[in-house]
Chains A and B, each alone.
Chain A
């Protein structure tokens, strides 16, 4: 149906619609041909130009500029920027708080991602069944994804409140006792991980669901004939078959997880703790660490830039590891 559309919508009398070299005289032909050639050769560049120009100015240039700034003692509060070489990196890598932030980030990342993807798999598996209200369930799964991280952090900080939070009230009612979620390292990581998992589980479930629908059905048929259980089918058919999708979600979640900022920032009740991620820095993430140095006390842009590059390096390492994993799976398949 769509095939007829372009012909119908191109106005017949428009000057440029003439096919080059067919209806026009020799003079016109060469002009038309030049124009045609230019069109074919130049247009692609014209089409990608707006993207690449903006991208270069606001995407690529800042990347290089960050590297330049990171080599300086550069503060918003002073007009002088001294070249210091790798001093910022040296200072960063010897700062125990940086390593603390890295540990926290990875811990929150794992706590937030592993259960999240696991539940997403289970949910997706359930959604492949012939259920009443498919759309309703899918919509419900995605609902948390609509809420902003700020909204999520505000709501969950309330739920995780030490003295008057709903979760502690439930825990106390069932005899477990209250937990000071913000105070402990593990407990604060869990609370933040819950915020991440809550927002993204449904989203990932839908991605898995899409991948599962492409799995050949006869695999399940023969498995059922062999008497394989529901769980077995999940682990020995579904998961291997959608492995690339799983790795895709792992990479995406990892990149997202390494940049966690709003959740820990807003989870700390107030004052200094919102920047240090609790009084013991127990939930200060890398981005929060960057924020502390770059946009808080001192406004040390050089140091913050060095932090950004190191963060990037970490992401590249993780992504490369994932890429190698994908390749291995492909070659073994």
Chain B
């Protein structure tokens, strides 16, 4: 008996030792007394890393800690944390599809107008500013980071193999007029390539792009759902279904391991490119430098994605947090984020700055992405975003997924989308 007890003790000690060692690695940044740690909750990498360091250097006593969660989880968790009044970060990012869900409960956030944000209104594109205002305009819950003016990224090597043009102007010309032309190009592409090469990664993305380009999307300005009644929605659905049925979709779900790996393997030829997507392409396929290029998106301008930084009311350091996000969303910082990652500034002041407009990236075959995305951002017509915008689009995306994996006919999928969307509200 004593022997086994000794062994148990040893085991416990060993486990504890391992844990202590592990803990030691993790907590290297013990803050001195009086330091304030600002936590920043994001979905995905916003490319803020170098900026945190700089801000910490210039503002002794401020520590910044980043938390990243998955896109859908992030917004659900935020809802839960706001409701229970605990667990939210000092600064929480909110994506455009979810912003109106939160402007509906402005009391859960610090009103940034109380912190002097009113003087900064001119910093942002007007619609970007409006999106973070409460319905009565008395409260502002967030400051804009990036906007997602759209382009189309494509693989020049795969286009060449398929006998399609590779020059970005010629590629743009293939489909600039309409999504129908894009689908036709896809058919040509499929006809010229073998079975495991696809024209785009996911149908949901294509559908969302079309919706974002419309003046009115899935919501009316009085928050009526328009999924069934807006012809734009059903047209977009049909065009997407046509593409799926032609076999163009690689059937990937964004932000899954498969999706990530597919970039590296080059299994699809095009992807809808809001500015922020360029960061993912580069990150997911570091070896594909020079193979990607950027052309115009079919169907005109539209905004897809982009975020605001908000300050949940439960945060203890609104002053410091506000000062930080105010700095972080300054044009100068937004420009650096763009140059670093590709997230496109929401501050028009930069739109005639050569540092932005003449920016190009070797990775994207030296495509003038500064110019492309500036044009895209300037042409964006604001679209009203309803309270469950993000969930509605995700639900429709699932419907397209069911067609993609063959489990439902388009008619069945559409019927289910309608009833699912109904039960969301």
Contact = CB atoms under 8 A, between A and B. Distances in A.
B21 interface: no
Given A183-B407, A270-B70, A297-B391, A276 B257 contact: no
B80 A76 contact: yes
A279 interface: yes
Interface string A172-193: 0000000010011100000000
A77 B76 CA distance: 12
Interface in A270-328: 270-276, 279-280, 282, 295-297, 299
Contacts of B406: 183
B256 A270 contact: yes
B398 A77 contact: no
B208 to A, nearest CB: 12
Interface stretch (A10-18, A35-43, A158-166): A158-166
Contacts of B398: 272-273, 276, 279
Contacts of A185: 407
Interface string B390-425: 010011011101100111100000000000000010
A276 B399 CA distance: 12
Contacts of A297: 76, 391, 424
A261 to B, nearest CB: 15
A242 B398 CA distance: 48
Contacts of B408: 280
Contact of B71 (A164, A271, A276): A271
Contacts of B255: 269-271
Specify the main secondary structure of chain B where it touches its partner: helix
Most buried by B among A180, A184, A273, A280: A280
A269 B257 contact: yes
B120 to A, nearest CB: 31
Contacts, number: 83
A296 B401 CA distance: 21
Interface in A141-162: 157-158, 161-162
A183 B398 CA distance: 12
B267 interface: yes
Nearest to B405: A183
B51 interface: no
Contacts of A184: 405, 407
B79 interface: yes
Nearest to B412: A280
Nearest to A183: B405
A273 B391 CA distance: 12
A52 B402 CA distance: 49
Interface in B200-228: none
A299 B76 CA distance: 10
Nearest to B399: A279
A274 B76 CA distance: 12
Contacts of B397: 271-272
Contacts of A158: 257
A274 B72 contact: yes
Interface residues of B, number: 34
Nearest to A271: B72
A279 B80 contact: no
B199 to A, nearest CB: 16
Nearest to A162: B258
A164 B405 contact: no
Interface in A3-57: none
A162 B401 CA distance: 15
B355 interface: no
Interface string A253-280: 0000000000000000111111110011
Given A76-B84, A162-B258, A269 B253 contact: yes
B262 interface: yes
Contact of A163 (B72, B267, B405, B424): B267
Given A163-B258, A272-B398, A299 B83 contact: yes
Most buried by A among B71, B261, B267, B402: B402
B274 to A, nearest CB: 17
A275 B394 CA distance: 12
A269 B256 contact: yes
A262 B38 CA distance: 31
B254 interface: yes
B86 to A, nearest CB: 13
A279 B249 CA distance: 16
Contact of A279 (B71, B83, B265, B405): B405
B258 A271 contact: no
A276 to B, nearest CB: 7
Contacts of B261: 163-164
A77 B79 contact: yes
Interface in B219-258: 251, 253-258
A1 to B, nearest CB: 11
Contacts of B76: 295-297
Given A273-B253, A280-B401, 10 more contacts: A162-B258, A163-B262, A163-B265, A164-B265, A270-B255, A270-B256, A271-B71, A271-B254, A272-B397, A279-B405
23 contacts: A77-B83, A158-B257, A162-B258, A180-B251, A184-B405, A185-B407, A269-B255, A269-B256, A270-B72, A270-B253, A271-B71, A271-B72, A271-B254, A271-B397, A272-B397, A272-B398, A276-B398, A279-B401, A279-B402, A279-B405, A279-B407, A295-B76, A297-B391
Interface of A: 76-77, 157-158, 161-164, 180, 183-185, 269-276, 279-280, 282, 295-297, 299
State the 8 A-B residue pairs at the shortest beta-carbon distance, nearest first.
A269-B256, A279-B401, A183-B405, A279-B398, A272-B394, A270-B256, A280-B407, A76-B83
Interface of B: 70-73, 76, 79-80, 83-84, 251, 253-259, 261-262, 265, 267, 391, 394-395, 397-399, 401-402, 405-408, 424
